[in-house]
Amino acid sequence: MKPDLLQKPVSIFVGLGFPAEIRSVMDAYRHLIEWPPILREAAHSIAPNACRAALRDEVEPETVRGLFVAFAERHHLLAPGTDASLSLHFSPTSAEVGIECSNLSTPFSSCSNAKGGQHA
């Protein structure tokens, strides 16, 4: 099994309402970076940062899933049948994810992990 696979895919609507499944951290990351910049808010940067950390094996894929479900729920992208209960009970802060950013509007390079290491 690939290390970035999610235990359970997240079903979302894309484009003109076509269903798609997010099955891995990389799928979530692709969707997040393609999100129109005009629609991004400060909270948007946490999910891609967590994706990058998970791809470096610093964060569990299920942490990314929880953040992505919260993002999709906030933007009304979740398809029927998606288990959104995870996002209702799991909304970690950037500190809980192990990512600390001084300014969420800056690139990931200004963030550091909980161990004090700087992310590139």
pLDDT tens-digit map of 98-107: 544 444 443 4
Site of tokens 């919260």: 70
Percent of the chain exceeding pLDDT 90 equals 57
Asked whether the beta carbons of 79 and 19 are under 8 A apart, the reply is: yes
- The token duo for 74 is 């906030």
62 in any annotated domain: yes
How many domains, the chain? 1
49 in any annotated domain: yes
Q: 36 pLDDT band (50/70/90 cuts)?
A: very high
103 in any annotated domain: no
CB atoms within 10 A of CB 21: 14
pTM, rounded to two decimals = 0.68
pLDDT over 50 at 109, yes or no: no
60 in any annotated domain: yes
99 in any annotated domain: no
Which domain range does residue 70 map to? 5-91
56 in any annotated domain: yes
